A and B are shown apart, each in its own frame.
Chain A
Amino acid sequence: MHVPDGFIDAPVSAAAGVVAAAAVAVSLRGARRELAATGPGAGTGAERTAPLAGLVAAFIFAVQMLNFPVAAGTSGHLLGGALAAILVGPYTGVLCVSVVLLMQGVLFADGGLTALGVNISDMAVITTAVAYAVFRLLVRVLPRTRRSVAVASFTAALLSVPAAAVCFTAFYALGGTTDVALGKVFTAMVGVHVLIGLGEAVITALTVGAVLAVRPDLVYGARGLTRPLELRTSPLAADDAPAAAPAAPAPAPAAPRRSPRRLWLAGLAAALVCAGGLSYYASSSPDGLEKVAHDKGLDTRTEEHATADSPLADYSVKDIANRRLAGGLAGVIGVAATLAAGTGVFVVLRRRKAAADTPAPAADTPAEQH
């Protein structure tokens, strides 16, 4: 996605250059903080920034050469924005990807010199910022396990690549030099980049997992997740010195268990609000697929859906006149039905699992309770 010269006109390129310069200046300051040593005798971090950020930039540069075969001879490679944000922090990530882009532009003529601002804004700044925001949010919401870090990095990388495509489309809308309709550019860019994002997401999650398995302390995004080492003494020793145990600093309580009930209730409330209240404001025009089908005359032969005259057809309740009430009620009923079906499946599955587990020793059952 390296934008060449001449694709975006001069004023917008200049504006993007200013934005990119400001972002790089901010991240130069932030990177010092992120790379500061955490151990005893840590300095301000200013003198650690250059070698560490430089090596991380070299890492991104090298890892872009690692080819991941997809199928039938095609292969893709990592873009690295999300990976850098999660591994070394957002500011250092922006900085490293920007340096890689700068060097690619100046040395390898990959991406135009005047388009450098556009390239840095969408590929370094937006990718990294979106990835890190999504990652932090998910890590905060999900339980504190290694698996949820993997899930969070997957989602972060998945969203970061189309976000860059959206940003590129915005630049195109402001200063594109060609006449391709905005909608087409948007669809093509976002469509292609959702696919690229899928690959990026899988690779990023696997790579973060690999680093996390060996050096969890190096993963910036997972810094709060490592538990402090716990001192365990044998029961005999504990009997000998019962007074010593309370005197020892109480280990930080393990990550508070979030009860699934609260999550479940919050999700239910959100779904009901969306379905009941917000659905009134949703567009009543046909969605993309329906519209394309209509425009191209594809839908002339489609038959009406079998449930088209059901009481809930087209997302509104049949015999209620008020549109707002009808739509909202249909939404609420839909949520309830979906929930009932989902819960039913879940309950059946759990029962079956519990039945299979009954011969297991009773000591296992507490773990099953939540």
Chain B
Amino acid sequence: MGAGHAHKLYRDGRSPVHALPAHCKIAAVFCFVLVVVATPRTAAWAFALYAGLLAAVAAAARVPAGFLLKRLLIEVPFVAFAVLMPFVAEGPRTHLLGLDLSVSGLWGAWNVLAKGTLGVAASVLLAATTELRQLLLGLERLRIPPLLVQIASFMIRYGDVLTDELRRMRIARLSRGFEARGVRHWGVLAKSAGALFIRSYERGERVHLAMVSRGYTGTMPLTDTATATRTHWTRAAALPLAALAVCLLGWIL
């Protein structure tokens, strides 16, 4: 795929992390997040170690810290929820800076924040170092049903097209003096959504006919047969194995 098709979340580069096959990386990230979720929340130092592990991976992948932190902002809605938690949770209460807070609520907020942030950071690193097409192929190699992967790839391919279509409709509305200000204007916006549905469904029918006329029978031909070697798997496993060691320590100590 050319540069035009690369998604904005991907950072091109040549690093050991970029070179790993996608399915190794997906499996590694998934296991890592699973280990993080299974860690007891009282072991605060374990989460610091996890963050250190992720920072090491980011350094190996040459992903700048600013990029990573900016992408972490997606978590903000849940941060708001976590901040609320010490105020509403039950149990023994403590006084901090003149506020009446629940102890278990504080632990809960810490738990969600730490684990959620680590999970988001891990997926951001995955998306930043893996090309979209490779990501989809990786999912397919991990025995996700091929039909599901095909649907996902169509969604990714045409997502930008439809978003552009939506943008053109918005410009058309604006240039006719329409500005959505409140509930009264929902009718117009809903008509745009309806038009978008009709256009995307009809585009789907055209795409299908075009594919059938080129010999499509329901399965995509597999063009590249790159398989992961033992070295790849070992490298990819370094992250979850290190995390597992930390997690076991957290349970023992």
By the criterion CB–CB under 8 Å, are A5 and B115 in contact?
yes
Q: How far is the CA of A179 from the CA of B88 in the complex (A)?
A: 9
From DSSP, what is the main secondary structure of chain A's interface residues? helix
> What 17 new A-B contacts, CB under 8 Å, besides A62-B200, A109-B74?
A4-B112, A47-B218, A52-B208, A55-B158, A58-B158, A61-B159, A65-B163, A66-B166, A95-B151, A100-B155, A103-B155, A107-B127, A110-B74, A112-B33, A113-B30, A178-B85, A179-B104
Q: How far is the CA of A213 from the CA of B197 in the complex (A)?
A: 13
Q: A109-B120, A109-B127, A114-B34 are in contact. Are A181 and B90 (CB under 8 A)?
A: yes
Residue on A nearest B35 in the bound complex, by CB: A10
Q: Can you name 21 A-B residue pairings with CB atoms under 8 Å?
A: A4-B75, A6-B36, A6-B114, A24-B145, A47-B216, A47-B218, A53-B151, A59-B196, A62-B162, A65-B166, A66-B189, A107-B127, A109-B75, A109-B127, A114-B119, A178-B107, A178-B109, A203-B193, A206-B186, A206-B194, A210-B193
The digit string for A86-103, where 1 denotes a CB below 8 A from any CB of B, is 011000000110011011
Residue on B nearest A88 in the bound complex, by CB: B201
Which residues of chain A are within 8 angstroms of B34 by Cβ–Cβ distance? 10, 114
The digit string for A130-147, where 1 denotes a CB below 8 A from any CB of B, is 000000000000000000
Which residues of chain B are within 8 angstroms of A112 by Cβ–Cβ distance? 33, 37, 115-116, 119-120
Residue on B nearest A78 in the bound complex, by CB: B193
Q: A4-B120, A6-B112, A109-B120 are in contact. Are A177 and B41 (CB under 8 A)?
A: yes
Which residues of chain B are within 8 angstroms of A114 by Cβ–Cβ distance? 30, 33-34, 37, 119
Residues of B within 8 Å of A, CB-based: how many?
A: 90
Residue on B nearest A204 in the bound complex, by CB: B190
**10 nearest A-B pairs in the assembled complex, by CB-CB distance:** A54-B154, A6-B115, A210-B194, A178-B108, A5-B119, A206-B190, A55-B204, A4-B116, A179-B104, A47-B218
Enumerate B155-200 residues with CB–CB distance to A below 8 Å. Answer: 155-159, 161-163, 165-166, 180-183, 185-187, 189-198, 200
By the criterion CB–CB under 8 Å, are A51 and B155 in contact?
no
Enumerate B96-121 residues with CB–CB distance to A below 8 Å. Answer: 102, 104-105, 107-109, 111-112, 114-116, 118-121
Q: How far is the CA of A7 from the CA of B79 in the complex (A)?
A: 12
Q: How far is the CA of A108 from the CA of B102 in the complex (A)?
A: 33
A83 to chain B, nearest CB (A): 8
Q: Which of A55, A66, A206 contacts B207 (CB 8 A)?
A: A55
From DSSP, what is the main secondary structure of chain B's interface residues? helix
B9 at the A interface (CB under 8 A): yes
Interface size class of A (residues with CB under 8 A): 35 or more
Which residues of chain A are within 8 angstroms of B187 by Cβ–Cβ distance? 206
Which residues of chain A are within 8 angstroms of B45 by Cβ–Cβ distance? none
By the criterion CB–CB under 8 Å, are A178 and B112 in contact?
yes
A356 at the B interface (CB under 8 A): no
Which residues of chain B are within 8 angstroms of A28 by Cβ–Cβ distance? 145, 147-148
Q: Which of B116, B123, B158 contacts A106 (CB 8 A)?
A: B123
Enumerate B39-69 residues with CB–CB distance to A below 8 Å. Answer: 41
By the criterion CB–CB under 8 Å, are B123 and A105 in contact?
yes
B205 at the A interface (CB under 8 A): yes
A63 at the B interface (CB under 8 A): yes
Number of A-B residue pairs at CB separation under 8 A: 265
Binding site for B on A (CB under 8 A): 4-7, 9-10, 13, 24-25, 28, 46-59, 61-63, 65-71, 78, 87-88, 95-96, 99-100, 102-103, 105-110, 112-114, 177-181, 184, 202-203, 206-211, 213-215, 218
By the criterion CB–CB under 8 Å, are A68 and B189 in contact?
yes
B126 at the A interface (CB under 8 A): yes
A50 to chain B, nearest CB (A): 4
A3 to chain B, nearest CB (A): 9
B5 at the A interface (CB under 8 A): no
B141 at the A interface (CB under 8 A): no
Residue on B nearest A107 in the bound complex, by CB: B127
By the criterion CB–CB under 8 Å, are A179 and B105 in contact?
yes
B62 to chain A, nearest CB (A): 19
B124 at the A interface (CB under 8 A): yes
